[in-house]
Amino acid sequence: MLAGIRVLDIATLAAAPLAATYLGEFGADVIKIEQPQGGDPIRGWGVQDNGTGLMWKSIGRNKRSVTIDLRTDTGQDLVRRLAVECDVVVANTRPHTLTRWGLDYEALSSLNPKLVMLHVTGFGLEGPKSTRPGFGTLGEAMSGFAHSTGEAGGPPTLPSFMLADGVASLNAAYAVMMALYHRDVHGADGQLIDINLIDPLARLLEQSLLAYDRTGTIAHRSGNRWEISAPRNTYRTKDGRWLAMSASAPSIALRVFKAIGRADLISHPDFSDPQRRLSRLDEVDEIVAEWVGRHTLDEAMSVFEAEEIAAAPVYDVAQLVEDEQMKARKVFVRVEDDELGNLLVQTPVPRFSRSGGIVDTLGPALGRHTTEVLSEILGLSDTELAELRERNIV
């Protein structure tokens, strides 16, 4: 779908490189620029298999790895020359550093006016905090997410995965596609896309903003409850498993009462009305929890599925991989790899009726495509490449 689009990924770690990964899954030629010594820090991040980073293998999928020392004048010139031949540049270096290197949008767009540049930073390209370094943890803290997550009376809770980076990367990927559409369909020049790690996640926490603006209330932590819907929680089963339930649609709550043998509540004014039911949230939870606790997970899910109630088992990763729905949709695919033999990874998420995403290759060895890319795109000779290697530029 994106064949013919060339992306220059000069970013590191998570959010910005993930956006480039999504483009590569649908056919874009993604050239990953890495420092000759060590490469992208994500290579050494998280679980390793004999020195090979598993997260890198997934985030680096479908990319060509080229080593160029961005801290040198010659390396910066090579990247500028590559940017001229690309449609998109993805960066996450702090703004003042990119400007000093001559790799900021103003410098690159003067050489390639059609260039779309995605710049992901911790705090954004404007404002008093724009020059500060930032990681996803800060986005999760400042966005309001951590404040609203955790048990009542307990500490703010951070996720154990890259939530802020992931949400930012999704916003970034579709922003790139809009900019390319604007350029190619409307005959416009490229443009700069400014994404940070706070705004995208804060955008998902609308309910707290709207309530604060109109009522002055500030949401507090309430565990797995959400105080706009009841029942909504996780419930422990007789066999020690957990299931989650949501009655966001008012009709589902009434079906829950019927399914658990409490049809009397359907006509009760305090339990049948969605708003009045919230005032008795503790009682609703106790009633549902007591019923679930007397049944195994399979028994409870059988009843809820028969009554078309929105409930699901709480899975660990092993259970997720083995779920029949995941298998039917081929959500996970095992990909062959030169270093690991093979690795089970997620497939591209969007499903199209005519074109599918691909996982051609996993993250390559550091610098594996340096000669290929620099000779193919910039026309460098073997002699020139040898000189660059001797100087430790590539």
Report, as residue numbers or ranges, the catalytic residues: 165
CB contact at 8 A, 58 and 345: yes
Greatest CA separation for the chain: 85
Q: Name every residue whose Cβ is closer than 8 Å to that of residue 146 and which is 6 or more positions away in sequence.
A: 140, 156, 157, 158
Query: Of 316, 344, 318, 317, nearest to 330 (Cα)?
Result: 344
Measured distance CA(215)–CA(294) in Å, rounded: 40
**What is the CA 74 to chain-centroid distance, rounded?**
34
Structure-block tokens of residue 154: 């307990």
Query: Of 299, 359, 355, nearest to 333 (Cα)?
Result: 359
Query: Of 186, 185, 135, 123, nearest to 165 (Cα)?
Result: 135
Structure-block tokens of residue 320: 């997720």
CB contact at 8 A, 180 and 116: yes
Query: Of 161, 186, 132, 151, nearest to 46 (Cα)?
Result: 161
Q: Name every residue whose Cβ is closer than 8 Å to that of residue 342 and which is 6 or more positions away in sequence.
A: 334, 335, 336
What Å distances lie between residue 177 and 5, 18, 63, 163, 281, CA to CA? 11, 14, 18, 22, 44
**Other Cβ atoms closer than 10 A to 330:** 8
